[in-house]
A and B are shown apart, each in its own frame.
Chain A
């Protein structure tokens, strides 16, 4: 495909096609932007490939992380279009899997249908436990105090649903934005003049401006190693639901760090869990807290500007990395956040004392250690969080 003469209109088609390719690769793209790209290409001219590259880069790309994708696709598209398809397929493995799925689903469904016909009673019992709201009182008490590890699959699902209903009052901060109030730090002149206009120019009372209250931002670090599987899942559901009004960033760590923010942007908690499952690829692996925190420091440190952020570290402290690295990283984290809270499911053991070096380090550096192994503890967490975080 030759880049034709601009007047003959071939270039417009090429650039529109390129824009659509970028959209398929996941870049945010709309027709207005492609139009601007076209104008830019006309201005810059197509003789110098580097200039065209720069022009399209400035107009079609708006995030630094998309630049790499753009570079690869530009080379492929304007030199060898067949290569583009291969590249796209590589970048979007999900796309090819999705097309394979329907076939599998049908066969699996047939197989399941046969099995279900044989074991007719099984699914109905499960449904009974899940949708039967009329639990006996002793059942309810038992579920509130039962450790998440000890629940059966259906009970766990029920408890997960109940956990989402726990309200979590979140610590708030005096923001810099002001709003009208009766008492405050400065006079609201606009309102004063407006009010005085109603009373013939007399100021009968002075309206003030006070600082708004905003929730503190939160950083959630969730350990997804083998020992934490149930707790991680439940805490993800609980926190996703209860921190919806809060500015949050979420990362899962095991052997390395996984960014869960795309999952947490979904409003439905079940959809979020599915997406989180897809994003995390070292579920039930080992734990390297120090290395994961180092990765966080390298890639995300700019977000911790301002020392306002509350860090919730959900882990059992069974770390297999180097102790000095963990200590250094925890120091850095403490320096850059308002409060570091360690949510530890190991507190389910009455006589728990931290013996693993990771747990010892966390115990020393964290501003507070909280238990999260059953529903009752979660409610306690919800009640006490505001006091634990310093104002």
Chain B
């Protein structure tokens, strides 16, 4: 078991994820470790921008497996998720037959491999050893009938195509589901999966993420960015905004500040780049009176240069 997965312990997993650039909390790493060992899907819930999709990508790199991604949307049907027959090509094939063709032979030719369009869920089943990492993104946007189908898929990891037979996964894919919690998922799906709620990181982890992703930023700037964003996400400032900036936004902001050759934050440069942190006019307007308080230097620490 350990040989195929290559992850022996939680610490090894944390190190491996850090090596590919994903800073994982111990709690999250424990959940991922259990998901790998118990071979159960992992459901990640959290605000947009906390790194749910990134975890799947990092995990695929760590395990050295292909990442297969299924983006869910409202009204998504089994046809778009699992497989579809290329009906137009099949019709043309039928039309091109000479008169008096053998019907069984024709049927055999129509339903052959090359007319089967494989969608992500089927691709995940058919991935060669040692399997794939399957990311089912934003599963809360799909509707209830799709969830019922997904429950069956996640339970069995096999699918039966009437013309072909049953296709069973040689090794079950490592499955990660993400949700923005716009609605509550079906209890049955939740019961099948392990669960983890991802929160925004604290200042220390944010700092190490910014340092890792934006190495050109000086130490002082990274510290200031991390402090600023951590303050934005905590009381009393957080209630003024409809949405707090996520990790992706703070990394983008750091990159933008580096591009503008900023060494220290001041109200003007923050105002100029605020569109990276906030995407709502009301939030930007709410930020302005708070800038003074947000840019106060930390009372106990000295920024090291």
Contact = CB atoms under 8 A, between A and B. Distances in A.
B197 A175 contact: no
Interface in B52-107: 73-75, 77, 85, 87-88, 90-91, 94
B31 A58 contact: yes
In this complex, the member of A28, A178, A193 whose beta carbon has the largest number of chain B beta carbons within 10 angstroms is A193
Contacts of B279: none
A55 B30 contact: yes
Interface stretch (B186-194, B223-231, B259-267): B186-194
B94 A201 contact: yes
Contacts of B27: 54, 57-58
A176 B75 contact: yes
A135 interface: no
A64 B45 contact: yes
A274 interface: no
Interface string B13-44: 00000000000001100110111011010110
A244 interface: no
B205 to A, nearest CB: 16
Contact of B75 (A61, A67, A177): A177
Interface string A295-321: 001100111011000000000000000
B31 A50 contact: no
B174 to A, nearest CB: 15
Given A43-B38, A58-B34, A32 B191 contact: yes
B182 A303 contact: yes
A36 B40 contact: yes
Interface in A54-77: 54-55, 57-59, 61-64, 67
Contacts of B129: none
Contacts of B191: 28, 30, 32-33, 62
Interface string A25-66: 000101011001001100110000011001101110111100
A59 B34 contact: yes
A40 B38 contact: yes
Contacts of B187: 28, 62
A39 B38 contact: yes
Contacts of A178: 75, 77
A62 B195 contact: yes
Given A55-B34, A58-B31, A58-B194, A193 B182 contact: no
In this complex, the member of B10, B181, B187, B239 whose beta carbon has the largest number of chain A beta carbons within 10 angstroms is B10
A190 B91 CA distance: 11
Interface string A145-174: 000000000000000000000000000000
Contacts of B43: 62
Contacts, number: 91
Q: What size tier do the contact residues of chain A reach?
A: 35 or more
Given A177-B75, A193-B90, A36 B38 contact: yes
B197 A64 contact: yes
Contact of A54 (B26, B38, B77): B26
Contacts of A61: 195
Given A36-B40, A40-B34, A177-B143, A58 B239 contact: no
A64 B50 CA distance: 15
Task: Please report whether the interface of chain A is mostly helix, strand, loop or mixed according to DSSP.
Answer: helix
B282 to A, nearest CB: 8
Given A43-B34, A58-B194, A301 B26 contact: no
B241 to A, nearest CB: 10
A301 B65 CA distance: 37
Nearest to A301: B242
B183 A303 contact: yes
B180 interface: yes
A109 to B, nearest CB: 39
A54 B30 contact: yes
Nearest to B193: A62
A180 to B, nearest CB: 13
A41 B245 CA distance: 35
Contacts of A59: 34, 194-195
B213 interface: no
B238 to A, nearest CB: 9
A342 to B, nearest CB: 23
Contacts of A55: 30, 34
B123 interface: no
Contacts of A43: 33-34, 37-38
Interface in B179-230: 180-184, 187, 190-191, 193-197
Contacts of B196: 57-58
A43 B42 CA distance: 16
Q: Which 5 A-B pairs have the closest CB atoms?
A: A176-B75, A189-B87, A54-B30, A58-B31, A62-B190
Interface of A: 28, 30, 32-33, 36, 39-40, 43-44, 50-51, 54-55, 57-59, 61-64, 67, 175-178, 189-190, 192-193, 201, 297-298, 301-303, 305-306, 332
Interface of B: 10, 26-27, 30-31, 33-35, 37-38, 40, 42-43, 45, 73-75, 77, 85, 87-88, 90-91, 94, 143, 145, 180-184, 187, 190-191, 193-197, 239, 242, 282
26 contacts: A30-B191, A33-B191, A40-B34, A43-B37, A44-B10, A44-B33, A44-B34, A51-B30, A54-B27, A58-B30, A58-B35, A59-B34, A62-B43, A62-B195, A64-B181, A175-B74, A177-B145, A189-B85, A189-B88, A190-B85, A192-B87, A297-B242, A302-B181, A305-B182, A306-B74, A332-B242
